[in-house]
Amino acid sequence: MTMGVLHEARVFIVGEKPATKAERSLLFKIDSFILSFLKEEIGFTGIQYNIAVTIFLGAYTLRLC
């Protein structure tokens, strides 16, 4: 039962795993664009950017598991 709850939480937060290698590659490109947008357009610097990247990478890692 615990694994079902954890799986549902992961799906709710980060979505399902990419079905194909092409989809995984596309998601990585989109995510990379978002990170560069945070740094350049929004003007995140120092600790703000580090926190955003940490949150992003945590979610990204959960999505790939």
Amino acid letter, 35: L
Instruction: Provide, rounded to the nearest whole percent, the portion of the chain with pLDDT above 70.
Output: 89
CA gap 25, 12 in Å, rounded: 21
The residue behind tokens 């490109």 is 29
Please state, rounded to an integer, the average pLDDT across all residues of the chain: 81
Radius of gyration of the chain (CA): 14
Q: Render pLDDT for 15-37 as a digit per residue (tens, 0 to 9).
A: 777 889 998 889 888 888 888 88
Q: Render pLDDT for 29-65 as a digit per residue (tens, 0 to 9).
A: 888 888 888 788 888 888 988 888 888 888 777 776 6
Q: DSSP letter at 42?
A: S
Cβ contacts of 34 within 8 Å, gap of 6 or more: 56
